[in-house]
Structure 1
Amino acid sequence: MASIDYGTDVNRTRPMTREEKKVILASSAGTIFEWYDFYLYGSLAAIIGAQFFTPFPEATRNVFALLAFAAGFIVRPLGALVFGSLGDLVGRKYTFLMTVSIMGLTTFLVGCLPSYYSWGVAAPIILIGLRLLQGLALGGEYGGAAVYVAEHAPIGRRGYYTSFIQTTATLGLLLSLVVILLVTAYVNGNYEPVQALNADGTAQVAADGTPVMLEPFKAWGWRVPFLLSSILLAISLYIRLTMNESPAFKKMKEEGAASKAPLREAFGTWKNGKFALIALFGLTMGQAVVWYSGQFYALFFMQNVVKLDSFTANVFVAWSLILGTGFFLFFGALSDRIGRKPIILAGCLLAAITYFPVFEALTRVANPALHAAQQTPVEVTAAADDCSFQFNPVGTAKFTTSCDIAMSQLAKASVNYTTIDAESGSPASITIGDTVIPSYDAGALSGDELAAAKTAFETQVNDALKAAGYPLVAADNTTIAKTSNFFDIFTGQKLAIVAILTYLIILVTMVYGPIAAMLCELFPTRIRYSGMSLPYHIGNGWFGGLLPATVFAISAQQGNIYAGLWYPIIIAAATVVIGAIFVPGGTQSRSMFTDDPEHKFHH
């Protein structure tokens, strides 16, 4: 690579060189495809949950599906350690090739995996295993791409150059949504519905005896986007093979300055280890919850809480991504001028302040009938010892008490309710308006008695909710937002939804656009891949990846569809406080690039 003048003012105004464009394109394109693979599952979580977690009730099934999605995030820090160490030892390029190969192969296998109906409990176990492998690969991917671009970028434009990498997660999500929309339209338009099955493989029938049918996309068409990943894998491998090693890493290797134990050097001493802690709690923790709230939980919220059909929800999110993605570059470039820290913390602060009114507005605009019905007082009267936390991550608990059954039924209908304590031993009941409906204890019943009690209870609750205005039947809800095609968004209601979602995406771009440059500048070249990858993936893998399941479970348990938002709000607010105190300010937090001749802080 030709020598670069690192004069800050000069580099901010000169055009990007051909070599720099190639580096950014190669890194970004491969990373987009990896995020596409990873996010297919998140976008199709509800459908996949019905295929692989069949025996559980719908509300529990949704949480298990989200937890399987989160499983890939849980192991991301391990992937960061494994591939981060390899990246610092053997180079950025070869680590790229390994991560993209693992990601592409596991995604293809998800598309081939038989469902619970065919393989029983082995199917969800294998699914989670594949998700873990995806998480390992992604744990090594992001840090490598960010470091590779940062080590090619001049000082004064690192925020702008690395912001292209920051767009890849959103563009990968957008690509996955577009593919899902196209495949959904084609499959449902050209193939016949498929008979729905029970957990034991028998045909599902409605109360009137008619067979329950599934849209072909929900039955089998969801596999097509996963299988298409084989094409993306071939493209990604070709792109990665054309890349050269990072000049900073090559120079370091030639000079014999590479670390022989990057993990120990990065985290085994307080000198460098403290920056990993600062990066985690003062930056990536808050960035992660804002990122996943604004993209993944917003999508899940619309589909499973606001009750928009999946096609419509995906169209709205896709448009918000199209409108908002450019702000990654804007805030990345802005961070070169005013600093990374103020932009990231401002995004976290705005999220903490506005999440409650924003998500409430999303419900009010997207499903006015549901929002109006939620003003009807609903109460669950139950003994405290009869109620348990509704969702168990390992699936060992059975929620059969009268209180659990009552809460589950209301959560499935997105009902806001309050809980009133009753005497120990008394059965739970639901009060909707003036109607009181006693619940039942499933553990005390069996066979026909249990089936009759379940049918009677659900019928009474649904009748009372309908009388209170709850739109339980989609065909009866004429006010809910619905799109017929990708460009069917030009009404006041639909544009308002896109605007709300775009605001959430802009918050995402504020916290995410400058984060790569900020993290890269905390560590020297010899340990940069390892040093920045671990705090990034702990923040995004644990605090972010577990967010959709955590928020949904808390909301269901508390009887308020917005209660779970306290999780991202508290985390984002904590990052604002910690970051303001401990994260160094300035356009560069701690310039330790060995290819930076100035070797000093830039304030």
Structure 2
Amino acid sequence: MAEVQSVGEGQEPKPQNEKMVIAASSLGTVFEWYDFYLYGLLATYISRHFFSGVNETTGFILALAAFAAGFIVRPFGSLVFGRVGDVVGRKNTFLVTMGLMGLSTFAVGFLPGYDSIGIAAPIILVALRLLQGLAVGGEYGGAAIYVAEHAPEGKRGLFTSFIQTTATAGLFFSLLLVIGLRSTMGEDTFAEWGWRIPFLISIFLLAISIWIRLQLNESPVFQKMKDEGRTSKAPITEAFGNWKNLKLVLIVLFGAVAGQAVMGYTGQFYTLFYLERILKVEPATANVLIMIALMIATPFFVIFGWLSDKVGRKPIIMTCMVLSALSSFPAFKALTYYGNPEMSAAVERAPVVVVAPESECAFQFDPIGKNTFDTTSCDIAKSFLAGAGVNYSNSDAPAGSGAQVMVGDVEIVAPNPAGLGAEAKAVAVAEFRQQVQAALDTAGYPASADPEKINRPMVIMVLAFLMILVTGTYGPLAALLVELFPARIRYTSMSLPYHIGNGWFGGFLPTMAFAMVAATGNIFFGLWYPVVIAGCTAVIGILFLPETFRRKIDH
């Protein structure tokens, strides 16, 4: 490979090998994504230790909401560090973001749980998660721009595609560690305290990452602008106060990034939660299946990045986004069929229906843990089914008629708690749950997925298919973002839409999807969130997103 020159004012050019630029930038970013994704992988354990003051369904949704909290602040991090990156430089900015990320992750490993310090535990956890989000808000733009500004003409898609693999590589690395710890420590020990080890290990990754990044020079494009006095003094004002640039920001957000984000988190994260929480696949097995699919799909980031240098960024991104939106429902139905065939058969053979007045049915989510969902017969019925992860549909009934649960042809009447004392109500609810569980058992609804009956090759094939479509929307994206905006405000301009899309649209996907499932009882209903957003994004992108792959980026 050719040598890239990084020129400082009054200094001789310093050669910097392209392979070193890609490797150093990518490896540091891999470790940063490793830190960020650990929380999502360990959400079940975090729910158990930090949100144990609420019911199980609510606790898991709150754990996912805390996961999303890190995404909430990503756009703010992009503004803060984007401005620093455009004024001070690319290299120093992502050194700071890396330090914030690593230390915040390390601290989670030592944080006492809810049983030890009460409500302070989830509050501190969310605060650390917010710091992580701020750091990631400044990291991605810096790494992508740094590599793109070193890349030769005609190879930006290829070069930046390696940065696009870092999120998946970070997820893969964290999965590998979690699987290894589970297998060596045993599930009980891992659930008790072993889940903290991956967070603690991050301190060593932080040291390695900072050392690697310190070996790099400044980006040649930024250094040239700095030497010539062309850097922006007010990048935020220039980026968003100018309609021409702001219009591009909005087109990128709603015509590319929002759809890429929701389909990305569907393919790589929601699939894992879906396997574990809805299909009830044993967590270690689910992790292995996801990891194998990631291994298959990851090279396609580079393939699509390379291809985008030949045919353009837009055709690849839009084609894969449309295919993702169209295939999500069939793919997840296939995932259900192959991942838990007994459940799939039971749903077809003996569907569960809750017959109740809609006015008496509460939304099955309680963020403060005060609602026990036992004040109406409908709530008693739905809270049990939601907690058991059973797919059900709703049928309205006349007001005052109470709730019934139909399991196929079997009818179980939910108790009416009105007028019952606490003890009598507890007995009635327990008897009702026993009757429903017996009906579910008779109908063939499994308590968990039978490992012997999981069709692993087909599950991996479905997962890999979803993930390959993700690589098509994401692989060429970094090059597209860099090429769209002028160099003097590039860091600020591209970081904000990227992190609004991935932080807000994508980051809330697991929480929103599971809340939608809990509210309706339909295990597929949560997919409407990514499908609708991806569909709208594809329409806007096809109509308004410009092609960029032949543009110059040094001005």
TM-score, length-normalised on structure 2? 0.94
CA contact (8 A) 2:53 2:369 kept: no
Q: Secondary structure at the match of 2:280?
A: coil
Write out per-residue CA displacement over residues 470-500 of structure 1, whole angstroms, 9 at most, x where no aligned residue. Answer: 01266xx46543xxxxxxxxxxx21111111
Q: Which position in structure 2 is the counterpart of 1:594?
A: 554
Distance verdict in 2 for CA 1:442–1:343, change over 3 Å: farther
Shift of residue 215 of structure 1?
0.9
Q: Which position in structure 1 is the counterpart of 2:96?
A: 98
Aligned residue type for 1:288 = A
Q: Which position in structure 2 is the counterpart of 1:205?
A: none
Select the residue among 412, 415, 418 that pairs with 2:387.
Answer: 412
Write out per-residue CA displacement over residues 222-266 of structure 1, whole angstroms, 9 at most, x where no aligned residue. Answer: 001111111111111111111111111111011110100000100
Q: Distance in 2 between matches of 1:478 and 1:125?
A: 38
Select the residue among 410, 417, 431 that pairs with 1:435.
Answer: 410
Select the residue among 541, 555, 561 that pairs with 2:523.
Answer: 561
**1:235-314 matched pairs, under 5 angstroms:** 235-314=208-287
Q: Distance in 2 between matches of 1:329 and 1:424?
A: 58
Q: Which position in structure 2 is the counterpart of 1:204?
A: none
Q: Secondary structure at the match of 1:138?
A: helix
Distance verdict in 2 for CA 1:450–1:93, change over 3 Å: farther
Identity of aligned residues (%): 55
The answer on 1:520 being equivalent to 2:482 is yes
The answer on 1:353 being equivalent to 2:326 is yes
Q: Secondary structure at the match of 2:154?
A: helix
Shift of residue 439 of structure 1?
2.7
Q: Which position in structure 2 is the counterpart of 1:179?
A: 177
Q: Which position in structure 1 is the counterpart of 2:8?
A: none
Select the residue among 323, 326, 351 that pairs with 1:377.
Answer: 351
**1:434-453 matched pairs, under 5 angstroms:** 434-440=409-415, 447-453=422-428
Q: Distance in 2 between matches of 1:157 and 1:394?
A: 52
Shift of residue 551 of structure 1?
1.1
Write out per-residue CA displacement over residues 376-426 of structure 1, whole angstroms, 9 at most, x where no aligned residue. Answer: 122111111112322255667664443233223223333232212122234
Write out per-residue CA displacement over residues 341-363 of structure 1, whole angstroms, 9 at most, x where no aligned residue. Answer: 11111111011111111111111
Q: Secondary structure at the match of 2:193?
A: helix
Distance verdict in 2 for CA 1:105–1:444, change over 3 Å: farther
Q: Distance in 1 between matches of 2:443 and 2:116?
A: 41
Q: Distance in 1 between matches of 2:365 and 2:293?
A: 31
Q: Which position in structure 2 is the counterpart of 1:111?
A: 109
CA contact (8 A) 2:55 2:369 kept: no
Could you list the runs of 5+ residues in structure 1 that have no partner in the other structure? 5-16, 189-213, 482-492, 596-603
Aligned residue type for 1:569 = V
Q: Distance in 1 between matches of 2:418 and 2:290?
A: 42
Q: Which position in structure 1 is the counterpart of 2:365?
A: 391
The answer on 1:531 being equivalent to 2:504 is no
Write out per-residue CA displacement over residues 1-54 of structure 1, whole angstroms, 9 at most, x where no aligned residue. Answer: 9568xxxxxxxxxxxx96111111110000000000000010111121111111
Q: Which position in structure 2 is the counterpart of 1:495?
A: 457
Distance verdict in 2 for CA 1:230–1:441, change over 3 Å: farther
Shift of residue 507 of structure 1?
0.7
The answer on 1:320 being equivalent to 2:293 is yes
TM-score, length-normalised on structure 1? 0.87
Shift of residue 434 of structure 1?
2.9
Q: Which position in structure 2 is the counterpart of 1:7?
A: none
Distance verdict in 2 for CA 1:446–1:184, change over 3 Å: farther
Q: Distance in 1 between matches of 2:183 and 2:429?
A: 36
Distance verdict in 2 for CA 1:395–1:72, change over 3 Å: farther
Q: Secondary structure at the match of 1:156?
A: coil
Distance verdict in 2 for CA 1:440–1:100, change over 3 Å: farther
Superposed CA RMSD: 1.9
Deviates more, 1:528-537 or 1:86-95: 86-95
Shift of residue 585 of structure 1?
2.5
CA contact (8 A) 1:352 1:572 kept: yes
Shift of residue 450 of structure 1?
4.1
Q: Distance in 1 between matches of 2:504 and 2:71?
A: 6
Aligned residue type for 1:140 = G
Q: Which position in structure 1 is the counterpart of 2:51?
A: 53
Shift of residue 437 of structure 1?
2.1
Shift of residue 586 of structure 1?
5.2
Q: Which position in structure 1 is the counterpart of 2:400?
A: 425
Select the residue among 439, 443, 457 that pairs with 2:432.
Answer: 457
Q: Distance in 1 between matches of 2:419 and 2:51?
A: 25
How many residues align? The count is 543
Aligned residue type for 1:122 = A
Q: Which position in structure 2 is the counterpart of 1:130?
A: 128
Q: Distance in 2 between matches of 1:501 and 1:392?
A: 32
Q: Distance in 2 between matches of 1:537 and 1:394?
A: 29
CA contact (8 A) 2:4 2:150 kept: no
CA contact (8 A) 1:523 1:592 kept: no
Distance verdict in 2 for CA 1:335–1:54, change over 3 Å: same
**1:61-210 matched pairs, under 5 angstroms:** 61-188=59-186
Q: Which position in structure 2 is the counterpart of 1:330?
A: 303
Q: Distance in 2 between matches of 1:443 and 1:185?
A: 49
Q: Distance in 1 between matches of 2:429 and 2:128?
A: 36
Q: Distance in 2 between matches of 1:563 and 1:295?
A: 18
Deviates more, 1:394-403 or 1:283-292: 394-403
CA contact (8 A) 2:4 2:18 kept: no
Q: Distance in 1 between matches of 2:426 and 2:138?
A: 50
Q: Distance in 1 between matches of 2:214 and 2:127?
A: 28
Distance verdict in 2 for CA 1:408–1:119, change over 3 Å: same
Aligned residue type for 1:221 = G
Q: Distance in 1 between matches of 2:62 and 2:417?
A: 21
Shift of residue 121 of structure 1?
1.1
Q: Which position in structure 2 is the counterpart of 1:579?
A: 541
Q: Distance in 1 between matches of 2:476 and 2:55?
A: 42
**1:218-233 matched pairs, under 5 angstroms:** 218-233=191-206
Distance verdict in 2 for CA 1:223–1:335, change over 3 Å: same
Q: Which position in structure 1 is the counterpart of 2:10?
A: none
Q: Secondary structure at the match of 2:395?
A: strand
Q: Distance in 2 between matches of 1:139 and 1:92?
A: 14
CA contact (8 A) 1:407 1:557 kept: no
Distance verdict in 2 for CA 1:311–1:24, change over 3 Å: same
